[in-house]
């Protein structure tokens, strides 16, 4: 969603980095480019004006003019102000002292409230809570059925006493759900309310009645991030008519310009608390303004990536794998490789994971074109092997490759390439696990590669080389014995400590005579 904005900002900062000192004209030009980028992203005009004003004031101040690297200081200022308009600090859910905690969802029809109710329930379940979804959208056809399906997928309970589709009283359902949650020991109640195609009095009145009936601890306004500045107008109307405590952005993975995400918090004074960025139940998380600003500026989101890894990977399994790699490359088998690959797949889309890494914005087109099915094909190839072949891939010959290819539905070359890549990866992983650094990088400390070969070469060079000719070797040994018997005085000049190993360098300089070729180059008076 923020790709266009990120590209414009990256181009602006690239021009800044080429300047050692920033003038007022440079700052004005930078502010103008940022203003255009924000307006093109459909950010609300009042937000853009306040943002640019703050950047110019700070950029012209001492913190930039006296900095060693003014360009980086301007980027720092933009990052901090971007965090500010996104809400500042991360806003957490407020839980009731006496359960259940009641969370009410409100918003227009089509904003994604029902799907988001399931995602929020799934997320809370992962946090150790026991959520209950309440079907209070009794107007929209099949809304109750949709919530039931979503709840089943999320593995959470649902309270839906009325069939919906125009039948039932949503206020009574909401009120009864609180007592039901207490009896069934659900500590969080998520109330899914009805939406409309536009803001009207009936919608506002029904939402207000449900609010008064359940006295929610949190009212979350669900905003479709793809509708641009109109989302801000809708949020403002709901704030005045019903009131809400936080904002949830849905459809953040769309290709719209993203102005709602950058405007709604600043205009309404209510922070964005959650963001939904995909169709899967796991594509939902708490909204962190600092991390979102980092993504927009192309600096990645390593903290979210680490959190996902910690949630997916077991510490014990990671330690076992590290110990296995440290023992030697043969200990790491294709079964281990498959296990690691499946763990990474549980973290989510490969392209989204790569997008969280710093600097990946430069290759976002290649990341977007990644085929997620390649992971499934690789898993199918490994699963088509016998246990013995997975343990020792050297067993896989031509006929076995044909059998594996038929079993996994791929070409024989795909099986061959997988095995070759596995051997290369196993060597590298084992080398790194043993502290040898990256293989194939000789001559660099801690980078491994060529260390054993270098030692071998040093061992060969150590000491004088002996001739392979017996007669010549005997003559050399006899000459060495004579020099030893004669003492240091008879040793050659090079062994007397000649500074550069020049024959005769240890003798008197007056007795030194240049060869004829060098004498011809000297002036006539110096040819001696």
Q: Which domains does the chain have, with CATH numbers?
A: 3-85 (1.20.120.140), 101-299 (3.40.50.300), 309-315+322-433 (1.10.260.30)
Neighbours of 292 (CB within 10 A): 24
With 0-12 CB in 10 A as exposed, 13-18 as middle and 19+ as buried, what is 71?
buried
Rounded CA-CA distance 464/494 in Å is 15
Nearest 10 degrees: Cα torsion 368, 373, 376, 381: -110
- DSSP code at position 488: G
In the sheet with 157-159, reading across from the earlier edge strand, the strands are: 157-159, 131-136, 188-193, 101-106, 218-224, 246-250, 272-276, 284-286
With 0-12 CB in 10 A as exposed, 13-18 as middle and 19+ as buried, what is 122?
buried
The answer to whether residues 178 and 130 touch, using CB atoms and an 8 Å cutoff, is no
pLDDT in 10s for each residue of the chain, 528 residues: 566 777 777 777 777 777 767 778 888 888 888 888 888 877 878 888 888 888 888 877 766 666 557 777 788 888 888 888 888 888 888 898 888 999 999 888 778 888 899 999 999 998 899 999 999 988 888 889 999 999 999 999 999 888 877 788 889 999 999 999 999 999 999 999 887 666 677 777 888 888 888 899 999 988 887 776 677 777 888 888 788 888 888 877 766 566 766 778 888 888 888 888 777 888 888 888 888 787 777 665 566 666 666 666 666 766 776 676 666 666 778 888 888 777 777 776 766 666 666 655 555 566 666 666 778 888 899 999 998 998 888 888 989 999 999 998 888 998 998 888 888 877 777 676 565 444 443 333 333 444 444 444 444 444 455 555 666 666 777 777 777 666 544 444 444 443 333 344 444 444 445 555 445 545 555 544
Backbone angles phi, psi at 158, to 5 degrees: -135, 145
In 3D space, the residue among 274, 304, 279 whose CA is nearest the CA of residue 103 turns out to be 274
In 3D space, the residue among 300, 295, 229 whose CA is nearest the CA of residue 5 turns out to be 295
The answer to whether residues 140 and 107 touch, using CB atoms and an 8 Å cutoff, is no
């Amino acid at each position: 969603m923020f790709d266009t904005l990120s590209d414009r900002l990256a181009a602006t900062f690239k021009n800044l980095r080429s300047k050692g000192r920033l003038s007022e004209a440079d700052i004005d030009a930078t502010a103008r480019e940022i203003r255009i980028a924000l307006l093109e992203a459909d950010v609300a005009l009042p937000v853009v004006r306040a943002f640019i004003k703050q950047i110019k004031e700070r950029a012209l101040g001492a913190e930039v003019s006296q900095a060693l690297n003014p360009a980086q200081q301007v980027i720092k200022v933009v990052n901090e102000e971007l965090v500010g308009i996104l809400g500042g600090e991360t806003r957490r859910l407020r839980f009731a002292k006496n359960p259940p905690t009641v969370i009410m969802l409100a918003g227009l029809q089509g904003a994604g409230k029902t799907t988001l109710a399931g995602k929020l329930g799934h997320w809370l379940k992962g946090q150790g809570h026991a959520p209950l979804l309440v079907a209070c959208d009794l107007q929209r056809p099949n809304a109750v059925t949709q919530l039931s399906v979503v709840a089943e997928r999320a593995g959470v309970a649902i309270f839906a006493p009325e069939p919906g589709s125009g039948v039932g009283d949503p206020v009574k359902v909401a009120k009864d759900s609180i007592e039901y949650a207490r009896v069934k020991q659900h500590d969080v109640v998520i109330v899914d309310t009805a939406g409309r195609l536009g803001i009207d009095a009936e919608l506002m009145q029904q939402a207000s009645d449900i609010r008064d009936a359940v006295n929610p601890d949190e009212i979350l306004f669900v905003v479709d991030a793809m509708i641009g500045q109109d989302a801000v107008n809708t949020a403002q109307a709901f704030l005045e008519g019903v009131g809400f405590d936080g904002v949830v952005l849905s459809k953040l993975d769309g290709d719209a310009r993203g102005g709602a995400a950058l405007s709604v918090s600043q205009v309404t004074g209510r922070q964005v608390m959650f963001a939904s960025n995909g169709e899967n139940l796991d594509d939902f998380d708490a909204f962190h303004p600092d991390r979102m600003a980092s993504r927009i500026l192309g600096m990645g989101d390593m903290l979210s990536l680490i959190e996902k890894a910690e949630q997916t990977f077991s510490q014990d399994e990671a330690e076992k794998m590290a110990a296995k790699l440290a023992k030697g490359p043969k200990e790491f088998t294709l079964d281990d490789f498959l296990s690691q690959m499946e763990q990474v797949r549980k973290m989510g889309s490969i392209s989204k994971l790569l997008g969280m890494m710093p600097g990946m914005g430069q290759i976002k087109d290649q990341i977007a074109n990644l085929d997620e099915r390649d992971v499934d094909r690789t898993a199918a190839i490994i699963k088509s092997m016998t246990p013995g072949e997975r343990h020792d891939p050297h067993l896989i010959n031509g006929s076995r490759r044909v059998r594996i290819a038929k079993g996994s539905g791929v070409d024989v070359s795909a099986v061959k390439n997988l095995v070759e890549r596995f051997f290369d990866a196993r060597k590298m992983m084992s080398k790194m696990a043993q502290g040898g650094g990256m293989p194939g990088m000789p001559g660099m400390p801690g980078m491994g590669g060529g260390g054993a070969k270098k030692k071998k070469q040093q061992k060969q060079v150590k000491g004088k080389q002996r001739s392979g000719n017996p007669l010549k070797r005997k003559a050399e040994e006899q000459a060495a014995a004579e020099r030893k018997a004669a003492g240091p005085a008879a040793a050659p000049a090079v062994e007397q400590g000649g500074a550069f190993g020049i024959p005769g360098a240890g003798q008197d300089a007056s007795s030194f005579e240049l060869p004829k070729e060098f004498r011809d180059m000297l002036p006539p008076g110096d040819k001696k």
